[in-house]
Structure formats: structure tokens, C-alpha cells
């Protein structure tokens, strides 16, 4: 019997299981030595000086934005094609979101769509300050950050890479998350991502002061290192002792337990294997698609980039085949192929229709959404599964 292919899933082997079992048998289940080990290994893997692991990708985005101390008159530009968390993290911190359009074929923010959003802000919203931008490396495709970084540097704004899809990839500025042209990068380690910790996330940065701030914020704002104490205002023993800690700011419980970090460390060792397998599967998809005359488009990786694709998201002209996307997805599912849509443009969501600045048409985002479909892509697929998927897709589109 042919197995069902979901659009994505985790890859867990015996080494991962052994690592988690060892953590369960250790003295630590929550915060222990594996947190520090995972952070060091992750920073080294992506080429950043610091990595701060947290409970999930949303927590990573939230804490990263929180360090910028935004006000209600601060505006952050976010591409419309992304998961809601990329915009929600701005609202959590009391600032304003201005959505930018995207390339209708890749879903990525471009220099032109960024400039258009910024021009709208400058023209129509006097008294507001441009505070930053959250470029999203959608599906694992790295955004070229050169222009965004230049503009943000000139205007005293931040660049926060949403790298939740993109671990292991390389863009024009080097490894994604190395922060060569950004303030910080945020990751997600959800099971459908390339690398998983179950739930989990991380922030990378090259700023050690910022990293210390992030570590405070992820754990209630509590400092336990006496070298950084400011004083409890007791006399004598009340200020000193191994039990003493200080809450120095308002923080959250966004910690990632040792158990999850054990899985993350094991998975990180497999990252080159994951990257190579995903590249091979994408190449097989390209070959299979090239042998058809289907109205299905997939944009190859941009020159100067080496992505690790999280999604294999194609553009399909559903009108040309006389079928709705729902009909196509149902037909694929009946034949053992799972698919998903990533994403409904965030500016179309009811909440953001009333809360985002500059309500306006974003035709690139709408065109991308109306045509996109994510086909199966994960490390445990067989090498011939992409051919099977395309053959099934051809059957559904032409029958």
C-alpha cells in the first residue's frame, strides 16, 4: 500500500531518541547544561556570536521586538505573506504594523515593495517613526538584505530577520542568522521545520549586550549572576547569598527545557544531512515538473543564494485548468498526497484589517496567495516521491 505523504513532518531517528532519553535520566529536565550547549552549537552553526533559545518561534519574535522598546508611534514594516506571528509580535509590544507587498512568485519582500511601504508611511503618517522591518525568508528563500540594511542604518531602525523557515541556508549576506546585515534573527523549531526541538525557537545576534537582555526577558526578567546585581536594599546578608536573585525588568517564562535542547543538539548534528536531502528532493521536483506541460510554476533559488527549503511552494494557474484549489487539494489527498496553503496574506485577516496602518491593496500578495500550494517536502521522503507527487498532480489537473 502506498503511504500518505503529508506536506511536512519531523525526522526523528535513534540518535535523537537516545539524546532525549539521556536528558530524561539526567538531573535536569528544565533549565540545565544542555541549554548552554545548544546555544553555543547553534550560534556556531549559523555563524553568529550569540544564540538565545526560547519556547517557540513566536516567543523569539516577541522578545526580539521587545528589546527595541517601541512606542505606539513606532511603525514596523512586515511583508503580507507570512505567518501571523511576524506581525503579532509588533502588536504585542504596542507598536504599529505597516504591511508591504511581496513578489507574486516567491512571496518575498523586495526592495521595491519595502520602499513603497516606507514612502506610504512618510507621506501619510506624519508624527510616526519608522522603527524597523521584519523581512521573512519565506519557504527558506533568503531575502537580500542589502538595501533594507542600508535604509535602516540611515534611519536608526532595526532589521529583524524572520528566519523561522530558513535554518541552514545561505543568502547574499552569508549564512542566514549570522546577522551580517541585521540586528537579530528569529528561528522556529516546530516539527514541520527543517530542524525540530518539539516546540522551540531561538534568537541570534552579534550584540552581547542585547543577548544578555534577551536572556533576562525570557526568564521573568530575573538576574542570578551576582556580578550584575544592582541591590535589594537590604543591609548585610539580605543582599548576599546563593539563594539571592533580582528581578531587574518585566520578563516572561519563555525558557526552553533541557529535554528539548537535547533533541535540538542531536538534530543540529543532522542539519547537513537534512539540507542535502531537501536539496535532492527539490532537484527531483524540478526535473519532474520540467517533463510536464502543466500550468505550474516554481521559481528556482536566486543567484548567490543556497537555501535549505522548508516548503516546496508552487504557483498553479487554477483558472487555466478549470479547477478550484480546494478541488485540487481534495483530489491529491484522495490519492495519498497532502498539501497546504502558506499563507493567507496577513493584511486580509479581520484583526489586521482594522489594526494595520495604511489599509491598501497589495496585489502581489493576493496573486501569490491565490496561486500558491505547498507540496510535500521533508527529509524522510524517498528520492522518487517528488516524481510520484507530480504524476498525481498531473492526473488531478488534467483528468
Instruction: Please state, in angstroms and as integers, the Cα–Cα distance from residue 367 to each residue in 53, 317, 345, 362, 370, following that order.
Output: 36, 10, 10, 9, 5
What would the DSSP string read from start to end of 194-263?
A: SS--SS-EEEEES-HHHHHHHHHHHBTTEE--GGG----S-SGGGG-STT--EE-S---B----HHHHHH
Rg (CA), the chain: 22
Burial status of residue 230 (CB atoms within 10 A of its CB: 0-12, 13-18, 19 or more): exposed
Looking at residue 235, its pLDDT comes to 72
Dihedral angle of Cα 145, 277, 206, 158, to the nearest 10 degrees: 30
Backbone φ/ψ region at 85: left (φ over 0), alpha (ψ -120 to 50), beta:
alpha
Looking at residue 134, its pLDDT comes to 99
Looking at residue 241, its pLDDT comes to 84
Looking at residue 236, its pLDDT comes to 66
Domains plus CATH for the chain? 14-100+107-270 (3.40.640.10), 272-398 (3.90.1150.10)
Looking at residue 393, its pLDDT comes to 98
Looking at residue 237, its pLDDT comes to 67
Low-confidence ranges of the chain (pLDDT < 50): none
Say what the pTM is: 0.97
Looking at residue 239, its pLDDT comes to 74
User: Three-class SS of residue 79?
Assistant: strand
Looking at residue 233, its pLDDT comes to 85
Looking at residue 399, its pLDDT comes to 87
CB distance 79 to 109 below 8 Å:
yes
Give the residue numbers annotated as catalytic, written as ranges: 193
State the DSSP code for 136: B
Looking at residue 132, its pLDDT comes to 98
Looking at residue 255, its pLDDT comes to 98
Looking at residue 234, its pLDDT comes to 84
Looking at residue 1, its pLDDT comes to 56
Amino acid at each position: 500500500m502506498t503511504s500518505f505523504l503529508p506536506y511536512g513532518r519531523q525526522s526523528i531517528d535513534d540518535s535523537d531518541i537516545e539524546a532525549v532519553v539521556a536528558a530524561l535520566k539526567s538531573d535536569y529536565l528544565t533549565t540545565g547544561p544542555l541549554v548552554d550547549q545548544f546555544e553555543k552549537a547553534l550560534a556556531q552553526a549559523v555563524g553568529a556570536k550569540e544564540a538565545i533559545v526560547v519556547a517557540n518561534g513566536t516567543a523569539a519574535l516577541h522578545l526580539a521586538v521587545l528589546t527595541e522598546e517601541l512606542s505606539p508611534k513606532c511603525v514596523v514594516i512586515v511583508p503580507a505573506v507570512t505567518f501571523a506571528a511576524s506581525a503579532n509580535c509588533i502588536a504585542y509590544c504596542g507598536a504599529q504594523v505597516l504591511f508591504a507587498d511581496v513578489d507574486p512568485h516567491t512571496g518575498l519582500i523586495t526592495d521595491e515593495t519595502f520602499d513603497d511601504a516606507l514612502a506610504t508611511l512618510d507621506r501619510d503618517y506624519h508624527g510616526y517613526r519608522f522603527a524597523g522591518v521584519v523581512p521573512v525568508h519565506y519557504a527558506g528563500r533568503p531575502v537580500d538584505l542589502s538595501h533594507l540594511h542600508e535604509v535602516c542604518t540611515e534611519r536608526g531602525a532595526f532589521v529583524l530577520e524572520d528566519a523561522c523557515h530558513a535554518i541552514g541556508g545561505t543568502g547574499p549576506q552569508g549564512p542566514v542568522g549570522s546577522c551580517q546585515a541585521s540586528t537579530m534573527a528569529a528561528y522556529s523549531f516546530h516539527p514541520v521545520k527543517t530542524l525540530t526541538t518539539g516546540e522551540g525557537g531561538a534568537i541570534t545576534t552579534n550584540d552581547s549586550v542585547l543577548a544578555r537582555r534577551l536572556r533576562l526577558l525570557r526568564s521573568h526578567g530575573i538576574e542570578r549572576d551576582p556580578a550584575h546585581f544592582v541591590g535589594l536594599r537590604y543591609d548585610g546578608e539580605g543582599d548576599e547569598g546563593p539563594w539571592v536573585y533580582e528581578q531587574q525588568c518585566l520578563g516572561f517564562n519563555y525558557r526552553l527545557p533541557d529535554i528539548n535542547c537535547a533533541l535540538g543538539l542531536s538534530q543540529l548534528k543532522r542539519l547537513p544531512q537534512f539540507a542535502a536531502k531537501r536539496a535532492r528532493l527539490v532537484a527531483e521536483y524540478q526535473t519532474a515538473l520540467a517533463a510536464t506541460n502543466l500550468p505550474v510554476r516554481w521559481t528556482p533559488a536566486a543567484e548567490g543564494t543556497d537555501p535549505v527549503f522548508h516548503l516546496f511552494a508552487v504557483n498553479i494557474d487554477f483558472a487555466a485548468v478549470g479547477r478550484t484549489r480546494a478541488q485540487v487539494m481534495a483530489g491529491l489527498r484522495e490519492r495519498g498526497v497532502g498539501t497546504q496553503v502558506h499563507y493567507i496574506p496577513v493584511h486580509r485577516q479581520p484583526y489586521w484589517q482594522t489594526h494595520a496602518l495604511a489599509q491598501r491593496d497589495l496585489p502581489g500578495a493576493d496573486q501569490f496567495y491565490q496561486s500558491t500550494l505547498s507540496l510535500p517536502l521533508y527529509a524522510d521522503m524517498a528520492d522518487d516521491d517528488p516524481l510520484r507527487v507530480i504524476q498525481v498532480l498531473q492526473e488531478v489537473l488534467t483528468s
